[in-house]
Amino acid sequence: MNVIIGLALVFGVVSSGFRVLQEYERLVVFRLGRLLGVQGPGICFLVPFLDRAVRVDLRTLNFELPVQEVVTRDNVTIKVTAVVYYRFVAPDMAVTRVADGHLATVQLAQTTLRNVLGQSALDEYWRAVTRSTTGCSASSTSSRSRGASR
């Protein structure tokens, strides 16, 4: 009876070390606090009680920046919203070099948006907006006309 309980305990501990990762995930593995490396995708094994793992998503993530009030070069206050797309390329660096990669990306995007728009004048900003909206409407009408002729 004791042998069966012992084998069940050993089997439970060993099987708890297996992890299954999707194609877009990686595990950053630490053994006793030291970076061991990146594993995945597929089945990965972690030594129970010695290894700690952090899952990192490699897909492109997006978020909407909250409304930012920006003062332009000619001292005009404008409100701007933006959408940011990003992805992690090196999962080990995303875990070991930055405490919270998502929060760091949000703050960097907000700061960059304010700096870039703060260096331009209001008329430059409106020209860029008008160009981008004109380009979107022209490309959507041309794709509609191509689809209708087929």
Residue 96 is part of a domain; what is its CATH number?
Answer: 3.30.479.30
My answer on whether 105 and 44 are in the same domain is no
My answer on whether 86 and 34 are in the same domain is no
State pLDDT tens for residues 65-98.
888 888 888 888 888 888 999 999 999 999 999 9
Residue-range definition of the domain harbouring residue 17: 2-57
Sign, CA dihedral 55-94-65-84, equals: negative
Residue 53 has phi, psi (to 5 degrees) of -125, 145
Q: What is the pTM of this model?
A: 0.68
My answer on whether 74 and 28 are in the same domain is no
Counting the structural domains of the chain, the total is 2
Please give the share of the chain, as a percent, with pLDDT higher than 90: 40
My answer on whether 141 and 89 are in the same domain is yes
Q: How far apart are CA 53 and CA 47, in angstroms?
A: 10
